[in-house]
């Protein structure tokens, strides 16, 4: 147990919940030191407070950049009460111990939202605040540090329970939280600099995240899980939930997969249906209604219990169709009033407005034990100028649109991936197989099962080259007349000869789209 708190330094940009704590500190006869806006706020509330400049006998300089960066402040914070030498030095300098530090930082993220002016942004990088917090956290044997307004009530209870003192366990818990904040804050700034300079792979990499939701569990009930926000400017996700149960880990995983595909199709209304992070139906069409119908028709069995993502407003007609099937989540850019009322009748179905969502290219990371794998996001489909039309028969301009659509969808399907398309709609998807032949068989089998009439003259996309002609021949026998693939196999010549023999069209992109 520490000594009673005698001196507290308070410097906060977020003044929520502070007043209640000030009443408690006044009752315990704690001396308060503060500066700037916090000092004005505390005194305006009628509480006694000594300004930092009066406490240090040193006026702020360099436009306030140097204010709390003073030996009297940091000696008071870092003073080890059990160290005799420290005690002698404190007495000699006539310095007072500071037992409580309450600090939160300049709102760096808010500044980024308000301005692109680099000078203004840099001026809102807090130096004194993090320095005091780090010092207080290091000296948690004697000093308590608070960086979160939500912890004020916890401190109040701690002080009441311990007659103006705090327990070591509490101080260390607050210290850990404080170091988490300084690390997060520095990471924000580091990532901002990297963003401005276009540095994707710095020598030292940090990932920042603010916890926004404790999820019920992870992929399975025995796994714990939380959702964190990783964004330099926003303080919340742009997903506005209008109805239904809380979202689960698997829901979010499917939502993010669906949004990636959805935002890659911007020209026409698009519907994406996701199941276990794989698309089971994707369709673009001038008609929003037809887009939904075609996406569901791609694989209605897998669509059951899936996540539906639409880049249009859902009307009553589409809502009627949605309600005929069980879906976990519906994402759309708005809902007409009658449509929303109809959808809400299914109480557990999550309904989410994605009107505010905008996706920007980011790096992708995977964590494993001591390692972090980092890569750029796969942002391209192919270069039209570099396409190779390697067979005697060549595709038409209309077919090129479907070829591009098919190859784009293919890059979001888990490898090995085969996607069969007709009229900008998937009709068969083979995903996540250990060999390409099985993916071809599954894609063809699904197309035969659900869209047999559309198979003839359809287009198939492969995320990587065909190592042998067997998988391609399976597609040809199903009725596919055009195949788009990266090429690059030592057996390309053999595969192209088989394509010519079958009279189909083949396009090589030179771009592979593995998605593991």
- Has 86 been annotated as catalytic? no
Cα separation, 418 vs 421, whole angstroms: 10
8 Å CB contact between 321 and 292? yes
Strand locations in 432-514, DSSP E? 458-462, 480-485, 505-508
3-class state of residue 67 by DSSP? coil
User: Parallel, antiparallel, or unpaired: how do β-strands 350-353 and 329-332 relate?
Assistant: parallel
> pLDDT 10s digit of each residue in the chain, 516 long?
667 899 999 999 888 889 889 999 999 999 999 988 898 999 998 899 999 888 888 888 888 888 888 999 999 999 998 898 998 988 888 899 999 999 988 888 888 888 889 989 998 888 989 999 999 999 999 999 999 999 999 999 999 888 888 999 999 999 999 999 999 999 999 999 999 999 999 999 999 999 999 999 999 999 999 999 998 887 788 999 999 999 999 999 999 999 999 999 888 999 999 999 999 999 999 999 999 999 999 999 999 999 999 999 999 999 999 999 999 999 999 999 999 999 999 999 999 999 999 888 788 899 998 899 999 999 999 999 999 999 999 999 889 999 999 999 999 999 999 999 999 999 999 999 999 999 999 999 999 999 999 999 999 999 999 999 999 999 999 999 999 999 999 999 999 999 999 999 999 999 999 999
Contact predicate 273/306, CB 8 Å: yes
- Give the chain's domains with CATH numbers: 7-197 (3.40.50.1380), 239-353 (3.40.140.20), 384-508 (3.40.140.20)
> Is residue 138 among the annotated active site residues?
yes
Sheet containing 50-51: order of strands: 50-51, 31-34, 7-11, 100-103, 144-146
As given in the structure block, the two tokens for residue 352 are: 């989410």
Question: Measured between alpha carbons, how far is 349 from 352 in angstroms, rounded to an integer?
Answer: 10
Which residue among the candidates 138, 173, 245, 346 is catalytic per the annotation? Answer: 138
> Which of 177, 276, 333, 448 is labelled catalytic?
276
Alpha-carbon Rg for the chain, nearest whole angstrom, is: 30
């Amino acid at each position: 147990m520490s000594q009673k708190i005698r001196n507290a330094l308070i410097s906060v940009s977020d003044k929520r919940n502070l007043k209640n704590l000030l009443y408690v500190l006044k009752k315990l006869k704690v001396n308060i030191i503060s500066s700037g806006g916090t000092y004005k706020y505390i005194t305006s509330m009628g509480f006694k407070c000594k300004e930092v400049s009066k406490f240090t006998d040193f006026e702020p300089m360099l436009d306030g950049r140097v204010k709390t960066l003073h030996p009297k402040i940091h000696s008071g914070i870092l003073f080890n009460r059990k160290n005799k030498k420290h005690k002698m030095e404190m007495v000699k300098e006539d310095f007072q111990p500071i037992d409580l530090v309450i600090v939160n930082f300049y709102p760096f993220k808010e500044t980024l939202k308000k301005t692109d002016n680099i000078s203004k942004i840099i001026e809102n990088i807090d130096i004194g605040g993090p320095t005091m917090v780090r010092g207080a956290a290091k000296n948690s044997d004697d000093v308590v540090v608070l960086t979160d307004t939500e912890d004020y009530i916890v401190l109040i209870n701690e002080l009441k329970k311990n007659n103006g003192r705090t327990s070591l366990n509490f101080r260390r818990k607050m210290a850990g939280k404080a170091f988490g904040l300084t690390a997060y804050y520095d990471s924000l700034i580091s990532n901002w600099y990297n963003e401005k300079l276009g540095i994707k792979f710095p020598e030292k990499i940090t990932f920042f995240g603010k916890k926004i939701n404790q999820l019920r569990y992870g992929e399975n009930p025995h796994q714990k899980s939380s959702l964190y926000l990783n964004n330099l400017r926003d303080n919340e996700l742009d997903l506005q939930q209008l109805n239904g149960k809380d979202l689960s880990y698997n829901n979010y995983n499917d939502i993010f997969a669906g949004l990636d595909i959805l935002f890659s199709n911007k020209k026409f209304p698009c519907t994406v249906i996701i199941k276990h992070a794989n698309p089971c139906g994707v369709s673009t069409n001038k008609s929003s209604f037809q887009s939904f119908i075609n996406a569901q028709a791609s694989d209605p069995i897998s669509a059951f219990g899936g996540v539906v993502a639409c880049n249009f407003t859902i009307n009553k007609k589409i809502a009627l169709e949605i309600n005929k099937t069980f879906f976990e989540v519906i994402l759309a850019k708005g809902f007409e009033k009658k449509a929303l009322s109809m959808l809400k009748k299914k109480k557990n179905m999550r309904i989410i407005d994605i009107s505010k969502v905008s996706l920007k290219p980011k790096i992708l990371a995977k964590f494993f034990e001591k390692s972090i794998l980092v890569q750029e996001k796969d942002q391209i489909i192919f270069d039209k100028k570099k396409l190779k039309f390697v067979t005697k028969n060549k595709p038409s301009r209309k077919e090129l649109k479907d070829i591009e659509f098919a190859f784009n969808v293919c890059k979001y399907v888990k490898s090995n991936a085969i996607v069969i398309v007709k009229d900008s709609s998937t009709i068969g998807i083979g995903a996540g197989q250990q060999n390409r032949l099985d993916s071809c068989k599954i894609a063809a089998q699904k197309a035969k099962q659900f869209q047999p009439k559309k198979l003839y003259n359809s287009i198939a996309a492969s995320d990587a080259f065909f190592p042998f002609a067997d998988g391609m021949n399976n597609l040809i026998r199903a009725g596919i007349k055009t195949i788009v693939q990266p090429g690059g196999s030592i057996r390309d010549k053999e595969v192209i000869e088989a394509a010519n023999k079958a009279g189909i069209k083949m396009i090589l992109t030179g771009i592979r789209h593995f998605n593991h």
